Amino acid sequence: MRAGIVGGSGYLGAELLRLLAAHPELELAAVQADSSAGSSVAAAYPGLARAYPRTTFGVLDPGALGGYDVVFVAVPSGRSQAVVPDLVGKVGCVVDLGADFRLKDPAAYPAWYGFVHDAPELLASAVYGLPELGREPIRGARLVAAPGCYVTAAALALAPLLAAGVVEPSGVVVDAASGTSGAGRVPSAETHHAAVNESFAAYKLVDHRHTPEMEQITGATILFTPHLAPMTRGILATCYARASGPSSTSDVLGVLRGAYAGEPFVEVVEEPPATRETYGANTVRITGRHDPRTGLTVVLAALDNLTKGGAGQAIQAANLALGIEETAGLPRVAVTP
């Protein structure tokens, strides 16, 4: 099957290229990137040279991708709303890695993202691409909105407990840290190595734009605080919720294990997970505890923001949409050490 990438020169695009190089069913047919048009993939990412020795980035032209089986759109949030409408109905499936089609309420975009949505008619038909929390709607979908990395970690940690009614849906706190690759390839004053190295900082207090996405998928009211950590990849989300009744750590772990039994990419573990345990893999490692002294339940989730939190999840959703084996082309073993 032919796959295309729009916005392939950023970190998510590079991760898509890396994973597609090993995919048994999807073959890259075109990669577009306005900022790098005409240059080679090998020059931008020498580590990909063996897989793409002669591939160059084309100009951004969605119309040239008509008839493709799947197109991954990995442009910044706010830009994919101008790209996706030119692809839907002309390719087998569109998987948008940005935020433009994740929220169902068009009024949420000016409030949280600062732009008016130009294609609100597509919001109702867009399928949210988090397979572990809604696999069936993704099968055969023509437009998939892949979740963000913070949201994936928090939703997979909290959703089973909320669905089981063992924690309250109000007053939930998500405290999460991300590696610097989550900020994209172009550095800013806040994400430059000199600013991040040997430092740990919170940002976008109270009004981070991923908050409504977390609330939409979990049904909870959430206070979200993101942090930037001095590492390249990874998300570690620590989530707190008040127990709705008598509980124990055994109960919490039992709910999580029951929810994710048989899931190929979710591992419920005893010890607190670390981001390094998911490096380069499409896996999430989760654990939980109940504190009887405070009545609070804490759940932790670790993942690689570029893989399960980004490109890997997009390919997982594309596999489902196209009728391919869900795990095809996706690593489950992390890079160690």
Q: Does residue 334 sit within a domain?
A: no
Task: Evaluate whether 256 touches 194 at the Cβ level (below 8 Å).
Answer: no
The sign of the torsion formed by the CA atoms of 154, 157, 161, 163 equals positive
User: Do the domain assignments include residue 315?
Assistant: yes
Cα 330 from Cα 317, distance rounded (Å) = 11
User: Would residue 286 count as lying in a domain?
Assistant: yes
Residues in the chain: 337
Q: For this structure, is 149 an active site residue?
A: yes
Q: 94-144, pLDDT tens digit by residue?
A: 999 999 999 999 999 999 999 999 999 999 999 999 999 999 999 999 999
DSSP letter assigned to residue 78:
T
In angstroms, the CA 292 to CA 281 distance is 34
Nearest-angstrom CA–CA distance, 317 and 147: 10
3-class SS of residue 303: strand
**Do 198 and 141 belong together in one domain?**
no
Give Cβ neighbours of residue 301 (< 8 Å, ≥ 6 apart).
153, 154, 156, 157, 235, 236, 237, 239, 273, 284, 285, 286
pLDDT digits (tens, 9 = 90+) for 148-179: 999 999 999 999 999 999 999 999 999 999 99
Closest C-alpha to 21, from 194, 120, 45, 90? 45
| Residues 125-157 as b or e (16 or more Cβ within 10 Å = b) | ebbbbbbbbeeeebeebbbbbbbbbbbbbbbbb
**pLDDT (0 to 100) of residue 151:** 98
- The answer to whether the beta carbons of residues 287 and 268 sit under 8 Å apart is yes
pLDDT of 187? 79
Instruction: Identify whether residues 111 and 70 lie together within a single domain.
Output: yes
Q: 168 with 289, same domain? A: yes
Whether 62 and 160 share a structural domain:
no
Residues 166 and 286 in one domain: yes
Any domain includes 29: yes
What is the Cα 113 distance to its own chain's centre? 17
Is 330 contained in some domain?
A: no
Does 166 lie in the same domain as 69? no
Task: Please check whether residues 113 and 157 belong to one and the same domain.
Answer: no
Strand order in the sheet with 222-228: 201-202, 222-228, 172-178, 235-242, 296-303, 284-291, 266-268
218 and 191 share one domain: yes
Question: Does residue 116 form part of some domain?
Answer: yes
The whole-number pLDDT of residue 137 equals: 97
Domain membership of residue 331 (yes or no) is: no
73, amino acid identity: V
156 and 298, same domain (yes or no)? yes
Q: Do 216 and 190 lie in a common domain?
A: yes
Range of the domain at 154: 149-305
Residues of the chain with pLDDT under 70: none
Q: What is the CATH number of the domain that holds 184?
A: 3.30.360.10
Q: Report in angstroms the alpha-carbon separations of 317 from 55, 56, 68, 225.
A: 25, 26, 16, 27
CATH number at residue 123: 3.40.50.720
Residues 234, 268: one domain? yes
Give backbone dihedrals phi and psi of 73, rounded to 5 degrees, phi first: -105, 115
Name the domain count of the chain.
Answer: 2
What is the per-residue pLDDT for 221? 98
Q: Both 92 and 240 in a single domain? A: no
- Does this model's pTM top 0.85? My answer is yes
- As a whole number of angstroms, the distance between CA 326 and CA 320 comes to 6
pLDDT at res. 190:
85
Question: Is there a domain that residue 108 lies in?
Answer: yes
Q: Which pLDDT does position 172 carry in this prediction?
A: 98
What DSSP designation does 287 have? E
- Of the candidates 149, 157, 237, 306, the residue annotated as catalytic is 149
